[in-house]
Chains A and B, each alone.
Chain A
Amino acid sequence: MSATYDSPTCDGPTYDSIAKGTELPARTYQVTRLDLIKYAGASGDFNIIHWNERVARSVGLPNVIAHGMYTMAQAGRFVTEWAGGDPGAVTDFGVRFSAMVPVPDDDEGATIEVSGKVLDKLADNKVTVDIVAKAAGAKVLTRARATVRLP
């Protein structure tokens, strides 16, 4: 994945500028085998099904699969980028892992499509965001909700 390290945009939405139902701009994120290896190292989760295709297939999986937490992190990144680039704006974040993300051994890997909308406006400049993440047409996260504090 080619990440660009721009400074935080600081031009994210303000609490007053958004309404219940406001949609977050959809994004797609590529995930390759290299991304999973980097995530294993950074997170300490070296479960073999996330990097060894031989073993993954031997236990009945379709291929190497992405860490659920990697997919959750993409949904988190989606929300923090929307919230003006401040990861500290996310106060609550929860997901259910509903499908696996198989990652083939090629240059493209898998594609995770993330979209979301504002579910509710709360007190203290907080909003709840409902997130949808899909891969190969299947919902890979359900009940994915984040509470975000906006300026």
Chain B
Amino acid sequence: MALNPEYAGRVFGPGEPYEVSRVKIADFADAIGEPSELCRNRDAAVKAGYPDVIAPPTFAVIIDQLSLRAVITDPGLGLDYSMVVHGEQSFSYTRPLHAGDVVVGTTTVESIKAIGVLSMLVTSTSIDTVDGEHVCTARSNLVERGADS
């Protein structure tokens, strides 16, 4: 099913505030095998010039995907999530996310394209602190496989 092209340009959010915690950063670092002490030891992070332990670069996908949930579950868009594969992902940081950050995600649908039986949904999620400081922009490209592919 083709995606509704009228959704291009729509903005979703900001969503509920997400609090970045030390435990979650350490869990995520453990899960990806990131060995850095800067993800686990506050003193080491402070010594390196950060306010608290910092998140690995792909941690922001958690906040991106929470923000994207509003888009992909919107019945008007017509996305069949069971047919979705992740096409591309990128993160652009103003500064690292650190424990204690309280952030909100705001997702913009950048484009919707149909290529044969595939539909492509390109989104951009701005991740900002609740005080309005930009931390990261996450771009995601989701591909919906057509029923015949």
B28 within 8 A of A: yes
CA distance A91 to B66 in the complex (A): 22
Interfacial chain A residues near B54, Cβ < 8 Å: 87-88
Specify the main secondary structure of chain B where it touches its partner: mixed
In Å, the complex CA distance between A85 and B36 comes to: 5
Indicate which residue in B39, B56, B65 contacts A73 across the interface (CB closer than 8 Å). Answer: B56
A76 lies within 8 A of B56 (CB)? yes
What's the Cα separation between A19 and B86 when bound, in Å? Answer: 33
Q: Which candidate, A42-50, A102-110, A130-138, is the interface stretch facing chain B? A: A42-50
Determine whether the beta carbon of B37 is less than 8 Å from that of A77: no
Q: Which residues of B contact A69 (CB under 8 A)?
A: 58, 61, 86, 89
Which one of B31, B57, B82, B87 lies within 8 Å of A80 (CB-CB)? Answer: B57
Give the residue of A43, A91, A95 whose beta carbon is less than 8 angstroms from that of B88: A95
Interface size, chain A (Cβ < 8 Å): 41
Chain A, Cβ-Cβ closest to B48: A86
Contact with B along A28-43 (1 / 0, CB 8 A): 0100000100110111
The answer to whether the Cβ of B120 comes within 8 Å of any Cβ in the partner chain is no
Which residues from 16 to 71 on chain B have a C-beta closer than 8 Å to any C-beta of chain A? 24, 27-28, 30-40, 44, 48, 50, 54-58, 61-62, 65-66
Number of interface residues of B (CB under 8 A): 39
A17 interfacial contact with B, CB 8 Å: no
A122 → chain B, closest Cβ, in Å? 14
Given the known interface contacts A80-B56, A97-B86, the answer about A42 and B31 at a Cβ–Cβ threshold of 8 Å is yes
List, in ascending order, chain B residues with CB within 8 A of A77's CB: 32-35, 56
Tell me whether B58 and A45 are in contact (CB under 8 A).
no
Given A29, A68, A87, which contacts B55 in the complex, CB threshold below 8 Å? A87
Contact A41 B55 (CB under 8 A): no
Judging by beta carbons under 8 Å apart, are B32 and A70 in contact? yes
Q: B residues within 8 Å of A by Cβ?
A: 24, 27-28, 30-40, 44, 48, 50, 54-58, 61-62, 65-66, 82, 85-93, 95-96, 139
23 contacts between A and B (CB under 8 A): A5-B35, A6-B35, A6-B37, A38-B31, A39-B31, A42-B24, A43-B28, A43-B31, A44-B66, A68-B86, A69-B61, A76-B34, A77-B32, A80-B57, A85-B35, A85-B36, A87-B57, A88-B48, A88-B50, A88-B54, A94-B88, A95-B89, A96-B87
